[in-house]
Amino acid sequence: MVLPGRIVKNTLTALFAVVPFISFANSANDTVQAHVEHAETTEVHAEAAHADEHAPASKKDAIDAYIQHHLQDTHDFTFFSDEEQGKHYGFSLPVILFDNGLKIFSSGELHHGEKVANVDGNYYMLHHGKIYKTDAAGTLNYDQHHHPTNVMPLDFSITKNVVTMLFVAALMFFMFIGLAKSYKKGPIPTGMGRILEPLIIFIREEIAIPNIGEKKYRKFMGFLLTVFFFIWILNLLGMTPLGVNVTGNIAVTVCLALLTFFITQISANKDYWKHIFWMPGVPVPMKIILMPIELLGILTKPFALLIRLFANITAGHVVIMSLIAMMFVGKNLAADMPISLGLTLFISVIELLVAFLQAFIFTMLSSLFIGMAVQDHHHEEDHDHHTDEEPIII
Partner 1 sequence: MEGTLNLIGAGLVVIGAGLGLGKIGGSAMDAIARQPEAAGKIQTAMIIIAALLEGLAFAALILGK
Interacting residue ranges for partner 1, rule: CB under 8 A: 32, 35, 206, 304, 307-308, 310-312, 314-315, 357-358, 360-361, 364
Alpha carbon distance 253, 306 (integer Å): 5
Looking at beta carbons only, is 16 or 230 nearer to partner 1?
Answer: 230
DSSP track, 232-264: HHHHHHHHSTT---STTSHHHHHHHHHHHHHHH
Looking at beta carbons only, is 64 or 155 nearer to partner 1?
Answer: 64
Looking at beta carbons only, is 95 or 212 nearer to partner 1?
Answer: 212
Could you tell me the smallest distance in angstroms from the CB atom of residue 300 to partner 1?
12
Range list of β-strands (E), the chain: 76-82, 87-92, 94-98, 102-106, 117-119, 122-127, 130-134, 154-155
Could you tell me the smallest distance in angstroms from the CB atom of residue 241 to partner 1?
24
Could you tell me the smallest distance in angstroms from the CB atom of residue 108 to partner 1?
34
Could you tell me the smallest distance in angstroms from the CB atom of residue 211 to partner 1?
12
Looking at beta carbons only, is 36 or 327 nearer to partner 1?
Answer: 36
Q: Half-sphere exposure of 334 toward its Cβ, with a 13 Å CA cutoff? A: 0
Looking at beta carbons only, is 152 or 357 nearer to partner 1?
Answer: 357
Looking at beta carbons only, is 23 or 314 nearer to partner 1?
Answer: 314
Nearest-10 crossing angle of helices 284-329, 333-374 = 160
Kindly state the helix (H) or strand (E) to which residue 44 belongs, with its residue range: none
Question: Phi, psi (5° rounding) for residue 91?
Answer: -135, 155
Looking at beta carbons only, is 97 or 207 nearer to partner 1?
Answer: 207
Looking at beta carbons only, is 32 or 341 nearer to partner 1?
Answer: 32
Could you tell me the smallest distance in angstroms from the CB atom of residue 366 to partner 1?
13
| Nearest by Cα to 27 from 159, 168, 163, 165 | 159
Residue 105 three-state SS: strand
Alpha carbon distance 97, 105 (integer Å): 9
DSSP track, 106-151: EGGGGGGGTS-EEETTEEEEEETTEEEEE-TT----B-TTS-B-S-
DSSP label at 104?
Answer: E
Could you tell me the smallest distance in angstroms from the CB atom of residue 32 to partner 1?
7
Beta strands 94-98 and 102-106 are: antiparallel
Looking at beta carbons only, is 158 or 208 nearer to partner 1?
Answer: 208
Could you tell me the smallest distance in angstroms from the CB atom of residue 363 to partner 1?
11
Could you tell me the smallest distance in angstroms from the CB atom of residue 250 to partner 1?
10
Instruction: Order the strands of the 94-98 sheet from edge to edge.
Output: 102-106, 94-98, 154-155
Could you tell me the smallest distance in angstroms from the CB atom of residue 361 to partner 1?
5
Question: Phi, psi (5° rounding) for residue 334?
Answer: -65, -30
Q: How many CB atoms lie within 10 A of CB 389?
A: 7
Residue 102 three-state SS: strand
